[in-house]
Amino acid sequence: MPLGLRKKKSKSRESSNLVENEEVGSSAAKPSANGAGLPPPPASLRPRLVFHTQLAHGSPTGRIEGFSNVRELYGKIAEAFNLSAPEILFCTLNTHKIDMEKLLGGQIGLEDFIFAHIKGIKKEVEVLKAEDALGLTITDNGAGYAFIKRIKEGSVADGVKVICVGDHIESINGKNIVGTRHYEVARMLKELPKSQTFKLKLVEPMKAFEMLEPRSRGGKMAGESRLGAGRGTLRLRAKGPATVEDVPTEFEEKAIKKVDDLLESYMGIRDTELASTMVEVGRDKHNPDEFAMALDQALGDFAFPDEFVFDVWGAIGDAKQGRF
């Protein structure tokens, strides 16, 4: 079905004390959208929330508060542990392991425990692109670092054992890509010539000795455990203060999962925050053209192809009808 009414638009983007021997909570949060939805409440009504955090490779427990987005969160964690914010690669919720299904996204459960993974060993690898696809799925940390979220079994990347899930991609063929969004990095990798070698500079997350374990391909695809703190979540916004919201509904969880799968299939990325934004944009739309135009207004920089937008519209409709 053609999206005849769609018009492309171009939009520009715009200290805590350490506490020894704190007990770690066990609940988890579902990452969600960032920067969409109802306007935030006035400052006087904003909740004052305190979260506990540790460095994933081992540290005392710190308390952090007063952040509204991922960059501010990283800044607060850096203050708590006397680090520089760019040392933080990404965070996971309620696990110190490099678990790509528990990445911190746009929402944090009110009882979630935050583990920060910081830069570890740097490595450089030369890869022969023997196939059109490398088998890498890329995501980013919301603060300028793209990293590997999944490695497809039997792929070109799977055969290069030095490449691991969680590795930050620092440069491709000598070109520094720090600050480049995940979809751009995925496109750069896809456009590398077949049957030629290329070089990657990678930075792996720091690991404690007891955390060293067999290489992971990035976790499970189906039957993933539901993330949620039960009482609500803190939603981090690209613009404006964070707000407390209910955990995602069953419809939202199913639709977000399907849209995230489509992002991986079409663009080679996984991003639950982006998927959540797309689901929220499509929730009250009545046809694919209306959805496409709203999507361009909200996420014009991505320039999604029409066939992808139509598939996303179909996924949202299927979730509404309970067909998953």
Residue 153 belongs to a domain: yes
Using a 10 angstrom Cβ sphere, with 0-12 exposed, 13-18 middle and 19 or more buried, the burial of residue 72 is: middle
- How many structural domains are present in the chain? 3
pLDDT of amino acid 248: 73
Find the domain containing 174 and state its range. Answer: 119-205
Residue 25 belongs to a domain: no
Count other Cβ atoms within 10 Å, centred on residue 103: 25
Which of 177, 205, 233 corresponds to the end of one domain? 205
Torsion 296-297-299-301 (CA) sign: positive
Q: Strand 113-128 to strand 50-55: parallel, antiparallel, or no bridges (unpaired)?
A: parallel
Do 138 and 189 fall within a single domain? yes
Do 87 and 98 fall within a single domain? yes
Which of 72, 101, 117 corresponds to the end of one domain? 117
Would you write out the chain's pLDDT as a tens digit for each of its 324 residues? Answer: 444 444 444 443 333 334 433 333 333 334 334 444 455 555 555 557 899 999 999 999 999 998 888 899 999 999 999 999 999 999 999 999 999 989 987 788 888 999 999 999 999 999 999 999 999 999 999 889 999 999 999 999 999 999 999 999 999 999 999 999 999 999 999 999 999 999 999 999 998 754 545 555 555 443 344 444 445 766 666 555 666 677 778 888 889 989 999 998 888 888 888 888 899 899 889 899 999 999 988 888 888 888 999 999 999 988 888 776
Q: What pTM was estimated for this model as a whole?
A: 0.70
pLDDT of amino acid 24: 37
Model pLDDT for residues 219-259, shown as the tens digit of each residue: 544 334 444 444 576 666 655 566 667 777 888 888 998 99
Residue 15 belongs to a domain: no
List Cβ neighbours of 284 (8 Å cut-off, separation of 6 or more). Answer: none
Residue 65 belongs to a domain: yes
| 187-216 as b/e: b if 16+ CB within 10 A | ebbeeeeeeeebebbbbbbbbeeeeeeeee
Which of 171, 205, 239 corresponds to the end of one domain? 205
Do 112 and 61 fall within a single domain? yes
Residue 302 belongs to a domain: yes
Question: What gap in Å lies between CA 182 and CA 11, rounded to an integer?
Answer: 18
Phi–psi pair at 125, nearest 5 degrees: -140, 145
Taking alpha carbons only, the member of 250, 248, 269, 252 closest to residue 260 is 269
pLDDT of amino acid 298: 86
Do 123 and 187 fall within a single domain? yes
